[in-house]
Amino acid sequence: MKPLAVDSLAFALDAAARAVAAVMGGRNLDVALAALALPAAARPAAMDLAYGALRAFGRGDFFLARLMTRPLAEPTVRGLLLAALERIETRPADVHTTVDQAVTAAAGLARGRYQALVNAVLRNFQRRRDELVAAADDDAIARWRHPRWWLAALRSAYPERWREVAEAGNGRAPMTLRVNRRRVATADFQRRLADAGIAAEPLGGAALRLVRPMPVERLPGFAEGWVSVQDWGAQQAAPLLDARAGMRVLDACAAPGGKTAHLLELADLDLTALELDATRAGRIGDNLGRLGLSARVAVADCRETGWWDGVPFDRILADVPCSASGVARRHPDIKWLRRPGDVARFAAGQREILDALWRLLAPGGKMLYATCSLFPEENSRQVAAFVARHGDAQRLPMRDDDKECEWQLLPDADHDGFYHALLAKRT
């Protein structure tokens, strides 16, 4: 078979099919895409197709169940069909091109045995589209593109807003910048973007949301450390922690280092960044180096104390591992790789981390508990249980003029889903 042109839709569909198949086999999407070692010119189109197919996986799977007489055993061909179906539904004007290029891509998968099948399934979908779409809109998983257990959890937590939350989780995530105000003022950097033909909208503080996402290499001053990519919701953590110059601060689950860097951009701190995974810990140093910042980076489990010198911290950021349900549109494989029992497993680990870190906090110090989860078991219930266990723990308002002691952000056009709760240790 003649190699596919790198700039062709068939090449992108082929790559997306392989990535989606890897996810269906239990692999992380980012890892699956990286393993393909795609040429830079082909990467955006392949990523767009793979992300789209996985955001809409519940819908595409619904269509395939009605378009085929028996389940398809070959995962790469199934991945190809999922990517092509999502493209046909979202770009109906290009249906003939999509079908043609999907059939071309099928020639290189599973020795071409399913080329005719791909053609037949996609053309059948085209003929039966109205009927199938109507049926999909009557099915909860296909309509909302989330697993049934996930939808039940959202309904329970947000009975009035679960549809809105689910819909937001199916869209494209915004690309938001955090301006390094040690290097440049936010307004000045926005003008630099405008001069480069890049439109951005201010969200407050150091945050600028790009009207159109783009590769970081195109951002003026990125290599020089003027700016980082960080969601607006994630940018709230560093200011909420209220770390001041000279304080001893611990970022307990720090990789890849975005919040570590933000803390250092706000104040001169004696900061330790802790990370369990050595590879991920290396990214912290890389990010700090680009921004011209420094911190102690240690590879260790924050639930243990072998790394600790015994001196309490004034501030601790506990951005704990979680279900990541608030960032599922940014990592769409999460919706389909997670299982109902995972939430309880994460909650158990979070409890261990909170109890361990509390011992490291100085009397009068503050700890910010943060997740990118939407589920109360990892958020409000976790914090309530912690305060009940620790008599010296006090919940603090998020802001001076705010009586709320926790902040659950739900995903929308400006940010992903995050949770924050600020705790103080009584003296």
Asked if 426 and 395 touch (Cβ cutoff 8 Å), the reply is no
Q: How many CB atoms lie within 10 A of CB 364?
A: 11
Which value, to the nearest 10 degrees, does the dihedral of the CA atoms of residues 3, 6, 7, 11 take? Answer: 70
DSSP string, 319-368: E-----GGGTTTSTHHHHH--HHHHHHHHHHHHHHHHHHHTTEEEEEEEE
DSSP string, 172-189: PPP-EEEE-TTTS-HHHH
> 313 has which bridge partners?
361
Closest by CA position to 279, among listed 103, 31, 82, 36: 31
Distance between CA 267 and CA 182 in Å, rounded?
10
Distance between CA 425 and CA 333 in Å, rounded?
38
Distance between CA 340 and CA 143 in Å, rounded?
20
Strand order in the sheet with 227-229: 200-204, 207-210, 176-179, 227-229
Question: Catalytic annotation on 372?
Answer: yes
Residue from 302, 322, 372, 405 carrying the catalytic annotation: 372
Give long-range contacts, CB 8 A cutoff, 24+ apart: 403-409.
406/379, 406/380, 407/236, 407/240, 408/374, 408/379, 408/380, 409/233, 409/236, 409/326
Distance between CA 275 and CA 254 in Å, rounded?
6
State whether residue 313 is helix, strand or coil: strand
Report strand pairing: 313-319 vs 248-251: parallel
Distance between CA 145 and CA 166 in Å, rounded?
8
Distance between CA 226 and CA 221 in Å, rounded?
5
The residues annotated as belonging to the active site are 372
